[in-house]
Amino acid sequence: MKTAMPSGISRKTGSLLGPNAPRERLKALDVLRGLTVAVMIMVNTSGDSRHTFPILAHSRWNGCTLADVVFPCFLFMVGISSVFSVSGRLGRGVPKRAILAQAARRSVVLFLLGLAINSFDGLSLHTLRVYGVLQRIAFCYLAGTAMLLWWRSRTIAAVLLSTLLGYWALLRFAPVPGLGLPGSTVAFLDPVANLPAWLDRHLVPTAHLYRHTFYDPEGLLSSVSAVASTLMGVLSGKWIRAKRTSSQALPGLLAAGLTCAAAGLIWEPWFPWNKRLWTGSFVLWTGGLSLIALCLLLWLVDVRQFGKRWTYPAIVFGTNALAAYVFSEFLAGLLHVIHLPGGITIQHWLYHPLAASIPNPSIAALTYAILFVAVCFLPAWLLYRRRIFLKI
Residues 6+ apart with CB under 8 A from 192: 179, 214, 215
Strand-pairing partners, residue 304, are none
User: CA separation (Å) from 25 to 18, 94, 324?
Assistant: 12, 21, 20
Tell me the pLDDT tens digit for each residue of 250-272: 999 999 999 999 999 999 999 99
pLDDT exceeds 80 at position 307: no
pLDDT of residue 50: 85
More confident position, 6 or 375? 375
Q: Are strands 23-24 and 15-16 parallel, antiparallel or unpaired?
A: antiparallel
More confident position, 391 or 148? 148
**Which three-class secondary structure state does DSSP give residue 144?**
helix
Comparing C-alpha atoms, which of 278, 151, 302 is closest to residue 219? 278
Tell me the pLDDT tens digit for each residue of 40-85: 999 999 888 888 898 899 999 999 999 999 999 999 999 999 999 9
pLDDT of residue 99: 96
pLDDT of residue 11: 38
User: CA separation (Å) from 318 to 37, 239, 359, 383?
Assistant: 7, 21, 34, 12
Question: What percentage of residues in the chain have a pLDDT greater than 90?
Answer: 71
pLDDT exceeds 80 at position 38: yes
**Which three-class secondary structure state does DSSP give residue 205?**
coil
pLDDT of residue 104: 96
Measure the CA–CA gap between 273 and 72, rounded to whole angstroms: 12
pLDDT of residue 24: 52
pLDDT of residue 338: 87
pLDDT of residue 330: 92
Mean pLDDT of 279-298: 97
Measure the CA–CA gap between 311 and 331, rounded to whole angstroms: 25
Measure the CA–CA gap between 273 and 213, rounded to whole angstroms: 21
pLDDT of residue 20: 36
Tell the burial category of 166 from Cβ atoms under 10 Å away from its Cβ (0-12, 13-18, 19+). middle
More confident position, 126 or 282? 282
Question: What percentage of residues in the chain have a pLDDT greater than 70?
Answer: 92
Average model confidence (pLDDT) for the chain?
A: 89
Helix (H) or strand (E) holding 233: helix 220-242
Measure the CA–CA gap between 130 and 116, rounded to whole angstroms: 10
pLDDT exceeds 70 at position 168: yes
Mean pLDDT of 191-197: 93
Confidence of residue 154 (pLDDT cuts 50, 70, 90): very high
Measure the CA–CA gap between 311 and 302, rounded to whole angstroms: 11
Confidence of residue 123 (pLDDT cuts 50, 70, 90): low
Mean pLDDT of 100-113: 95
Region of poorest pLDDT, from 59-73, 218-232, 288-302, 330-344:
330-344
The b/e string for 215-230 (b: 16+ C-beta within 10 A; e otherwise) is: bbbbbbbbbbbbbbbb
Measure the CA–CA gap between 370 and 375, rounded to whole angstroms: 9
pLDDT of residue 2: 38
Confidence of residue 14 (pLDDT cuts 50, 70, 90): very low
State the DSSP code for 49: G
Confidence of residue 294 (pLDDT cuts 50, 70, 90): very high
pLDDT exceeds 50 at position 360: yes
Measure the CA–CA gap between 373 and 382, rounded to whole angstroms: 15
